[in-house]
Amino acid sequence: MPSATYRASDFAAAADSIGVELVVATEHRQAMGDSMGWRALVVDLCDPEGSAYAIAAVGRDHRLDAVVAVDDQGVEVAARAAELLGLRHSPPASVHLTRDKVGMRRRLEGAGVLQPAFRIASGPGQAAVRGAELGWPVVIKPLGLAGSRGVIRADDGPAAQAAEARIRAILAEEGRPEDEELLIERFVPGAEVAVEAVMAGGRLRVLAVFDKPDRLDGPYFEETIYVTPSRLPAGRQEEVVAAVTEAVAALGLSEGPVHAELRLAAEGPTVLEVAARTIGGLCGRALRFGAGISLEQVILSHALGLDPGDLAPAAQASGVMMIPIPGAGRLRAVNGIEAARRVPMVDGIEITVPPGSRLRPLPEADRYLGFIFASGPTPQAVESALREAHLSLVIDLEGSDSR
């Protein structure tokens, strides 16, 4: 796991609940490393091969039963280490494709999977040229940034030039080459959905289909609300699952978690992303199965070859809101949290950015302010509760008059 992950405590709790001893590999030695001894490893997540060999060396001295990646940065390391140790895994080359936006697009294109038409801007000044080839509007994406950071819609040539300049400035902040390739995709109109699943022996087992009720039309693509179960008709959901099944088969994924994002286009569900990990941030807390089984318990149990138990969705609808960054400035406080927690059906609120942090909104932002969780009798009721709770929050930013 990366040391900055939100998810360490959730995986630790899941491991404890099923009696699993953890070995934690991350890029910085954590405070808990002093008490964990050999079970705390320092690895370079930017060097999947070297990190995999380091984990495998430990695995030969102390029997490891599974290797699981918590976030995107660790998926290649985990797949390579599991292969070296002879443990359950997807092929490392397939996992690599989920981290390679261009490679994924080319593989899905070759397999005939419905996805956005795309071009590659091979250097500075090429975004407008490639956008004109595709036809406006387009979405311009950096290859080396996560989530929606640096993802911008452009409706014409001048907008594409401005978007490219802004993206390259973000890349420069990260120390990336100024001539790095960019991915240009034709904008696909329509509602967006997400699928959470686990691959077992090459078969896709769907855990949840999420609706994203807020339209993501740009110019930036800030995700907010996820709600499950989906309100789509059963037949439409079957089409979504079929599209994900086709995509994971094309990529060659065979074991472990899958998180996919799709647009409901007129031609059919269109694959935007397939990741070899679970849903990001703390959003996994919106899912419970059977008698309260968490998503992390499901993933660890699968990796270990254990029966995770009843994976029927919880009886109630549930959802999460990723609290957006409303403006630029230094965070002084988030007020109204207790009022938000009192909103009926709200299960909890986690503010993940400490006071004093300097914040920026998308497309420069690299985080969310926090998460609101709710559950209730219907998806509509859950969505309403999340929105009401969000309206109760007053975000005090020094240098900004944002709420």
- The tens digit of pLDDT for each residue in 179-211 reads 899 999 999 999 999 999 999 999 999 999 999
Question: Taking the mean position of all CA atoms in its chain, how far away is CA 118?
Answer: 21
- Find, among 254, 101, 249, 248, the residue nearest to 184 by Cα: 101
Global confidence as pTM: 0.94
pLDDT, residue 372, reads 98
321 exposure class (CB count in 10 Å sphere: 0-12, 13-18, 19+) = buried
- Residue 394 contacts by C-beta under 8 Å, 6 or more apart in sequence? 334, 335, 336, 403
Q: How many CA atoms lie within 13 A of 365 on its CB side?
A: 23
* CA 361/CA 373 separation, integer angstroms: 22
pLDDT, residue 34, reads 62
pLDDT, residue 144, reads 79
Question: Taking the mean position of all CA atoms in its chain, how far away is CA 194?
Answer: 10
Are 337 and 349 a contacting pair, CB within 8 Å? Answer: yes
* CA 20/CA 65 separation, integer angstroms: 10
pLDDT, residue 402, reads 45
Kind plus residue range of the DSSP H or E element containing 9: helix 8-17
360 exposure class (CB count in 10 Å sphere: 0-12, 13-18, 19+) = middle
Token couple for 31 = 């405070």
CB atoms near residue 158 (< 10 Å): 10
pLDDT by residue for the chain (403 residues), tens only, comes to 998 888 999 999 999 999 999 999 999 876 445 667 888 899 999 999 999 999 999 998 899 999 999 999 999 999 999 999 999 999 999 999 999 999 999 999 999 999 999 999 998 999 999 999 999 999 999 997 877 899 999 999 999 999 999 999 999 988 888 789 999 999 999 999 999 999 999 999 999 999 999 999 999 999 999 999 999 999 999 999 999 999 999 999 999 999 999 999 999 999 999 999 999 889 999 999 987 899 999 999 999 999 888 888 888 999 999 999 999 999 999 999 999 999 999 999 999 999 999 999 999 988 899 999 999 999 999 999 999 999 999 999 997 644 4
pLDDT, residue 400, reads 60
Are 316 and 376 a contacting pair, CB within 8 Å? Answer: yes
Are 300 and 307 a contacting pair, CB within 8 Å? Answer: no
Q: Tell me the H-state helices in 189-331.
A: 234-251, 295-304
Structural domains in the chain, sorted by start: 8-97 (no CATH), 117-186 (3.30.1490.20), 318-403 (3.90.1170.30)
- Find, among 315, 314, 316, 313, the residue nearest to 344 by Cα: 316
pLDDT, residue 53, reads 96
- The tens digit of pLDDT for each residue in 122-148 reads 989 999 999 999 999 999 999 978 778
